[in-house]
Amino acid sequence: MKILIIEDDTETAGYLSDRLLKHGHSVDVCANAEAGCTRAREQNFDTLIVDRMLPGIDGLTAVRRLRQDGLMTPVLMLTALSEIASRTEGLFAGADDYLCKPFAFEELLARLHALARRGENAGKASANVNTGDLIIDRVSRQVTRAGKRLDLLTKEYEVLEFLAMRPGQTVTRTMLLQAIWDINFDPGTNIVESQMSRLRTKLEADGASRLIRTTRGQGYVFRAD
């Protein structure tokens, strides 16, 4: 894997870099978000490791900016904050996974491999999902409706793809938490509802018809009609 580490703590960055290099991976290191975002845009990386607490622009803001720019490289966020609210905030920002400090290197490596496999599997998947005036390109992860590109954040895209691949099927909140956020417990927040609200706003812009309907007390159903 080609990995970019955005970490201001030289000891942590050096430790990760040395261990990853010994496992045969290519590693770049940036000490702040500005340099890291520039490097991430200029080169193709398989995964990014981003520390949440960075000087200047923090890790959350950095990931949000990369997602807004359309960069879909999988992100593993490192954080010293273990509270559930802090974890979900990182996922809301566009991170694909999180790991709390202190961590075992073996777990970090396993999570990186899982993120890389997810990206590879996406590339092997059927290229497009076409339903009505909605087109989902599963390779580039770009979405258009009525010929207009929708600027979706990582989790918004993943929620839409998950639903669109199951047209007419009721998808529960629990299913989405497990599939999109890898959360197997109730986080005690409205993370799914908030993500769904933002996704619907983008899908239904300019008076477009509703594609995702709520089944009261059950979940969500994607309907092309």
Cα 37 from Cα 61, distance rounded (Å) = 10
Indicate whether 122 pLDDT > 60.
Answer: no
Residue 144 pairs with which residues in a beta bridge?
135, 149
Cα 80 from Cα 89, distance rounded (Å) = 13
Torsion of the alpha carbons at 163, 212, 155 and 99, rounded to the nearest 10: -70
pLDDT of residue 124: 47
Domain extents in the chain: 2-123, 150-222
Fold match between domain 2-123 and domain 150-222: no
3-state secondary structure of 207: helix
Dihedral sign, Cα of residue 57, residue 60, residue 61, residue 62:
positive
C-alpha separations of 155 from 1, 64, 110 in Å? 23, 11, 21
Q: Which CATH number fits domain 150-222: 1.10.357.10, 3.40.50.170, 3.40.190.150, 1.10.10.10?
A: 1.10.10.10
The tens digit of pLDDT for each residue in 49-100 reads 999 999 999 999 999 988 887 788 899 999 887 667 666 777 778 888 989 8
Cα 76 from Cα 74, distance rounded (Å) = 7
The tens digit of pLDDT for each residue in 4-50 reads 999 999 999 999 999 999 999 999 999 999 999 999 988 888 899 99
For the structural domain made of 2-123, what CATH number should be given?
A: 3.40.50.2300
Give percent above pLDDT 90 in the chain. 54
Mean pLDDT, the chain, as a whole number?
88
What does the pLDDT average to over 194-218?
Answer: 92
pLDDT of residue 125: 47
Residue count of the chain? 225
3-state secondary structure of 187: coil
Single out the residue of 102, 98, 123, 119 nearest to residue 181, CA to CA: 98
Tokens 């010929």 belong to residue: 147
Cα 211 from Cα 183, distance rounded (Å) = 25
What does the pLDDT average to over 114-138?
Answer: 73
C-alpha separations of 116 from 32, 73, 74, 128 in Å? 23, 9, 7, 21
Single out the residue of 139, 171, 182, 132 nearest to residue 157, CA to CA: 139
3-state secondary structure of 56: coil
Cα 171 from Cα 162, distance rounded (Å) = 9
